[in-house]
Amino acid sequence: MLVSASMKLVILTLLVCGIGFSQPEGCIPSSLNIPGAPYPCVYADRRVAFRVNAPDAQKVQVRLGGGHDLTRGSDGLWTGTIPPQVIGFHYYTISIDGAIVADPATRSFFGGGWWNSAIEVPETDGGYYTAKDVPHGEVRQRWYFSTVTGKWRRCYVYTPPNYDASAKSRYPVLYLLHGWGENEHGWHVQGHADLIMDNLIAAGKAKPMLVVMDNLNAARPHEDASLYNARSIIARRSLADVPPPIGARPAPGQAAPRPAFPANFGETFTAMLLTDLIPMVEKTYRTLPGRANRAMAGLSMGGMQSFQTVLGNIDKFAYLGGFSGSSGGRGGFDPKTAHKGVFADAAAFNKQMKLLFLGIGTAEGPGTKNFSEQLTKAGIQNVYFESEGTAHEWLTWRRCLNDFVPRLFR
Amino acid sequence: MLVSASMKLVILTLLVCGIGFSQPEGCIPSSLNIPGAPYPCVYADRRVAFRVNAPDAQKVQVRLGGGHDLTRGSDGLWTGTIPPQVIGFHYYTISIDGAIVADPATRSFFGGGWWNSAIEVPETDGGYYTAKDVPHGEVRQRWYFSTVTGKWRRCYVYTPPNYDASAKSRYPVLYLLHGWGENEHGWHVQGHADLIMDNLIAAGKAKPMLVVMDNLNAARPHEDASLYNARSIIARRSLADVPPPIGARPAPGQAAPRPAFPANFGETFTAMLLTDLIPMVEKTYRTLPGRANRAMAGLSMGGMQSFQTVLGNIDKFAYLGGFSGSSGGRGGFDPKTAHKGVFADAAAFNKQMKLLFLGIGTAEGPGTKNFSEQLTKAGIQNVYFESEGTAHEWLTWRRCLNDFVPRLFR
């Protein structure tokens, strides 16, 4: 073998020493850390401790709901503990003498248009999104060509357990969209949509179905593909700051980050979905036909996209969900004119749309609840779901999905 | 919509300004950049320009085959151009006042036990690993429980085009392993194994087959799972330096980074593969039975693992490949005793093993060529493949796979 005895001794020594001082007592490494990284770690009271190796830096901060200064120790490592955090998945970054970067101690996640860090503050009842001893479906990477955009695209398709073995079964389909600055990985990487589906199906709470997770970005050849680009260019240029991802909590007293939508937001994606994606899915997989077997939902900007697509095409979908994002019409909502009058005849709408689901975290403000109440007042049946104590973050969206999916295709 | 006219104007202005100065002339953004990021970019002569936003830093370096100082501009952005690089995928990091981090301008890749940056210096004949207008297979995420490790594991399974539609076809299987400090994503993310397979199958150069990409890490419940951990802990502790990933080129005059193997290297993975992985694959997918339909290959440490597994179990595999990693026995190779004497009867070995493939980059030194010659001298048939001009990096391994796969299951 290539490993000499002396090398083994060095490694062993480092390991033993590492174990000796690596972790403050009672602080459990975040499940999102790279293998073996002791920091960031989470205390029982949900304070989070960080450590950054920046030997020659003058100032090091953790940026999570505002900036938190770390302190340089005599060993040259910067450490600090931030106040108790709410449960869930939180994007964060570190600042090293003004450079905003990912913390090398955690896995990197695509959010806000780039690859940043995250911690997971465990939920005591988080079993619904963890891998259990139940039958597991697959998440399949699928390449397909879009005639609308003129480009190859990639989506991920969740197929339920035993999809291959049940060669004669056909399934309904949920089209599930990420938020601004994320991509087709969001739902199964940050959101654990596959494990949520596995657990719901195993418990008999959800019908077996396909879940198609595509990328919300779509531009025709002559259109500006700036959905990410605006932010990316800004991020690379700005000397002042890089705004946090959409799924990050704002600093106290600050507004939540708001995406910059391109002029063509929504329309091209809807065209691509109807022209390319759905036909490809229904040709490639064993699907059930028609609107009664199609649902669409999304988070944040993906929720807005879902409302725009489905409410403009209710002949094609019977189930609709918006998680922390739905209709742009909250402020001056007029049921007679909103979304080209689709709500004007409430009885007709209710007969067509089998589910209109609105989900939100209680820390996100009253907008969605108000919208639900306005719909109800206009006679539009809808389900309003609240995630207790959570903000515009992935835990809200995992909980939304977990509540939404059992209501589909009944 | 949520976007006001004034917001649109701001965005448009930033975009226009960004486009105006974002790119030095003739410098093409790396294909691995986040959407819209103008840097890093590659010139026609393969020099690479970088830009880092670190307004208050005293020293910023790019670490790619040694450290390269960047220069602070009057706008506070650090820029620099490094000498011509060889073609291919290169991991790199940046150093900001001594903190070793990923460059936020690129996608992040798991290598060296953590998530770091990479550039792609394009190969003029790199079409074999790009998405073309050919039928595409799927890469499927598959969870399974390992009785050997006592844990849930995840692998990815490439299924060839029309796997679902050809419901009666059965396929041979290639087990394909990543290198040290990488994981089950390596081959299809960094390596584009799926696209290489699609293109080979479409051209009639390879038989349709399954490719199983698992994680090389496996520890029994009582064993030290330190394959990554040693490096991670070292990386988090060291004030001096973080060693580059295994797939990174060393600085001139320095030795290539060498992994620290745990004491249980190889044995537990082999047990897990034979006890859990292969039975799961052959139960879950439509596979062809027996050793004539099983191949195993890997890169670097995964090549060593493949040699250890296959040469210890030639009743179970008929094809073996090592890409920049094979047998530990190069130095004092004795065909009579190496690998428990499996080579001792050359005629018997040649009859059993339908392919013994050794691949290497020409910049990696003569070890593998010498080993091939020693095998030949001992009467052991083997295929020796050289990747011209490349080092211990992913382009070597893409080329190895592209040469290896057409030789399988003939």
Confidence of residue A223 (pLDDT cuts 50, 70, 90): confident
User: Smallest CA–CA separation between B311 and chain A, in Å?
Assistant: 15
> Do the beta carbons of residue A182 and residue A110 sit within 8 Å?
yes
Buried b (16+ CB within 10 A) or exposed e, B231-247: bbbbbbbeeeebbbbbb
Residue B38 is nearest to which of A11, A15, A236, comparing CB atoms? A236
Residue A80, amino acid: G
Pick from A8, A9, A10, A11 the residue to mutate for testing the B interface (most B CBs within 10 Å). Answer: A11
**Cβ separation of B236 and A56 shorter than 8 Å?**
no
**Cβ separation of A230 and B105 shorter than 8 Å?**
no
User: Smallest CA–CA separation between B25 and chain A, in Å?
Assistant: 17
At A381-402, the pLDDT tens digits run 999 999 999 999 999 999 999 9
Closest CA to B121 of B31, B186, B189: B31
The structure tokens 């059993």 sit at B352
**Cβ separation of A233 and B15 shorter than 8 Å?**
yes
User: Smallest CA–CA separation between A258 and chain B, in Å?
Assistant: 9
pLDDT exceeds 80 at position A294: yes
pLDDT of residue B11: 40
**Cβ separation of B76 and A239 shorter than 8 Å?**
yes
Residue B237 is nearest to which of A18, A107, A141, comparing CB atoms? A18
CA distance B147 to B155: 15
CA distance A346 to B53: 53
Percent of chain A with pLDDT over 90: 68
**pTM metric for this prediction:** 0.90
pLDDT of residue A7: 39
DSSP per residue, A310-354: HHT-TTT-SEEEEES---TTSTT--TTTHHHHTTSSHHHHHHH-S
Q: Tell me which chain B residues have a C-beta less than 8 angstroms from the C-beta of A115.
A: 34, 102, 104, 106-108, 115
Token digits of residue B377: 């001298």
pLDDT of residue A384: 98
Q: Tell me which chain A residues have a C-beta less than 8 angstroms from the C-beta of B60.
A: 99
pLDDT exceeds 50 at position A200: yes
Which regions in chain B score pLDDT beneath 70? 1-22, 224-265, 328-331
Q: How far is CA B136 from the centre of its chain?
A: 21
Q: Tell me which chain B residues have a C-beta less than 8 angstroms from the C-beta of A303.
A: none
Token digits of residue A314: 């209710």
pLDDT of residue A230: 41
Closest CA to B249 of B64, B394, B122, B118: B64
Confidence of residue A8 (pLDDT cuts 50, 70, 90): very low
Give the 3-state secondary structure of residue B252. Answer: coil
Q: Tell me which chain A residues have a C-beta less than 8 angstroms from the C-beta of B110.
A: 107
Q: Tell me which chain A residues have a C-beta less than 8 angstroms from the C-beta of B8.
A: 263
Give the 3-state secondary structure of residue B72. Answer: strand
pLDDT exceeds 70 at position A303: yes
Rg (C-alpha) for chain B, rounded Å, is 23
Which residue in chain B has the smallest CA separation from A167?
Answer: B167
pLDDT of residue A240: 37
Q: Which of A218-227, A239-248, A285-294 has the lowest mean pLDDT?
A: A239-248
Q: What value does the mean pLDDT take over residues A306-317? A: 96
At A276-286, the pLDDT tens digits run 999 999 999 99
Give the 3-state secondary structure of residue B66. Answer: coil
Mean predicted lDDT score pLDDT of chain A: 86
Residue A37 is nearest to which of B58, B76, B232, comparing CB atoms? B232
Q: Which residues pair with B244 in a beta bridge?
A: none
Residue A368, amino acid: T
Which is more confident, B6 or A209? A209
**Cβ separation of B140 and A138 shorter than 8 Å?**
yes
Which residue in chain B has the smallest CA separation from A50?
Answer: B236
pLDDT of residue A385: 98
pLDDT of residue A19: 36
Looking at residue B287, the DSSP 8-state letter turns out to be B
**Cβ separation of B97 and A260 shorter than 8 Å?**
no
**Cβ separation of A140 and B138 shorter than 8 Å?**
yes
User: Smallest CA–CA separation between A408 and chain B, in Å?
Assistant: 24
User: Smallest CA–CA separation between B119 and chain A, in Å?
Assistant: 15
Within 10 Å of residue B165's Cβ, how many Cβ atoms?
8
Which residue in chain B has the smallest CA separation from A338?
Answer: B1
**Cβ separation of A108 and B104 shorter than 8 Å?**
no
Helix, strand, coil shares of chain B, percent, nearest 5, are 30, 25, 45
CA distance B326 to B303: 5
Burial of A20 (0-12, 13-18, 19+ CB in 10 A): exposed
Which is more confident, A90 or A22? A90
CA distance A381 to A346: 8
Residue B56 is nearest to which of A59, A75, A139, comparing CB atoms? A59
Confidence of residue A35 (pLDDT cuts 50, 70, 90): confident
Residue A57, amino acid: A
pLDDT of residue A123: 84
pLDDT exceeds 90 at position A260: no
pLDDT of residue A52: 92
Pick from B192, B232, B283, B392 the residue to mutate for testing the A interface (most A CBs within 10 Å). Answer: B232
Residues recorded for chain A: 410
Pick from B8, B14, B53 the residue to mutate for testing the A interface (most A CBs within 10 Å). Answer: B53
Q: What residue spans of A217-314 are helical by DSSP H?
A: 226-237, 267-272, 278-284, 301-311
Q: Tell me which chain B residues have a C-beta less than 8 angstroms from the C-beta of A62.
A: none
Which is more confident, B17 or A195? A195
Query: What sign does the dihedral B158-B162-B166-B167 (CA atoms) show?
Result: positive
User: Smallest CA–CA separation between A102 and chain B, in Å?
Assistant: 7
Which residue in chain B has the smallest CA separation from A73?
Answer: B239
pLDDT of residue B127: 87
> Do the beta carbons of residue A320 and residue A296 sit within 8 Å?
yes
**Cβ separation of B2 and A116 shorter than 8 Å?**
no
pLDDT of residue B329: 52
